[in-house]
Amino acid sequence: MAPIGSLSPPLPSPAHPTAGPGRRGASGTGELTTEEQQAVKALKRRDQEVRTHEQAHKAVGGSLTAGPFYEYTKGPDGQRYATGGEVTIDTAPEREPDATIRKMDIVKRAALAPAEPSPQDRAVAARAEALRAQAQADLLEQQQAARDGQDGGRPAVTAEAASQAYRRAATITEPPGGPPQPIRFARSI
């Protein structure tokens, strides 16, 4: 499973990240300072960004995903805000190339689903694309082997078999009555 949507908190730490138990704000009066209010506003915005980002991965990845898992920061108001998160996704190839192709298409779409994919998201999408390309090559190889014959990839008609058939055809004698005559079609006017 590869993590997608790994978002690290880009926010500076609030001035008072952990208000004491039963307290609100640095003053302990229940009132937040202007600086603390701005920190809470930034944390709320970041919480929404993180949740939207991770839910985009989950919505597209469906059963291939686990999570989302969040990292939280406690704000000056005593509330927890998601400031980082990830969704894991199954990137293991399937047994059959065509199934791997379908799966990697989903993985890539899930990795790139958020409006602003992270570097980790782009790395997962690139890995899915590489696995898809390998599966496509394997599928083409299987199809070629099927066209060439069912006996381990050898051609259905070998050069030796074709040569023998040609020699046999060359030894066939003409039918009684001489060589066959061309058929002529009469055209009525």
| Averaged pLDDT, 92-102 | 95
On the question of pLDDT at 136 being above 80, the answer is: yes
On the question of pLDDT at 10 being above 70, the answer is: no
Higher pLDDT, 119 or 172: 119
List the chain domain ranges: 2-148
Q: What is the mean pLDDT of the chain?
A: 79
pLDDT at 157: 53
On the question of pLDDT at 176 being above 60, the answer is: no
List own/partner pairs for 90-99 with CB under 8 A and 24 or more apart.
Answer: 90/1, 90/64, 90/65, 91/1, 91/2, 91/124, 91/127, 91/128, 91/131, 93/131, 93/134, 93/135, 97/135, 97/136, 97/138, 97/139, 97/142, 98/135, 98/139
Q: How confident is the model at residue 3 (pLDDT cuts 50, 70, 90)?
A: confident
